[in-house]
Amino acid sequence: MLIDWNDTLVLGDDRIDLEHRDMAATINRFLEVLESGASRDEICDVAFTLGEQVTQHFNNEVELMEATDYPGAAAHQREHKMLMGELGTFLRRVGQEDDRELLKVAGFIESWFVTHVATADAKFVKFLTEETQHEAPLPASW
């Protein structure tokens, strides 16, 4: 199922929302290339683009959490670590698995993404907007 980018996924921090929107588009692109019967090279390219986006986004969030002393950082980062483990396994297998297996993993990633944005990331953005009452310092990588 494709991610429908809508107001429920917009959290109110432009930096985070932009990265989320880009990742959602790449997840959708991955699902589309799998379903269209694209070449293995194209499937791998999109998968590795997603891996790079997720890694950069998680690094950016960690920097922002550290810069703002976010009290939920440890739990949030545990979720990131869990997904990175799954994503790493997925990326190692993307060139070897059949498309049905890849669709299952992509479905997991899509579901995890939507849930993580709506819960853990929403809590973090709420902290940024309500608790700090100011624009958090922008990490160098943003």
- Distance from C-alpha of 48 to C-alpha of 4, rounded to nearest angstrom: 22
**CA–CA distances in Å: residue 112 to residues 106, 108, 126, 132, 134:** 10, 6, 20, 27, 29
Predicted TM-score (pTM) of the model is 0.85
Share of the chain above pLDDT 70, in %: 92
CA angle 139/141/109 to nearest 5° reads 105
Provide the residue ranges of all domains of the chain, joining segments of one domain with +.
11-130
- Distance from C-alpha of 1 to C-alpha of 110, rounded to nearest angstrom: 8
- Distance from C-alpha of 133 to C-alpha of 142, rounded to nearest angstrom: 20
Provide the 3-class DSSP secondary structure of residue 136: coil
Q: Write down the CATH number for the domain with range 11-130.
A: 1.20.120.50
Where do we find the tokens 């930096």?
15
pLDDT in tens, 85-127: 888 888 888 877 677 777 887 888 888 899 999 999 999 999 9
pLDDT at residue 10, as a whole number: 95
Between 102 and 78, the more confident residue is 78
User: Residue 26 in contact with residue 53, Cβ under 8 Å?
Assistant: yes
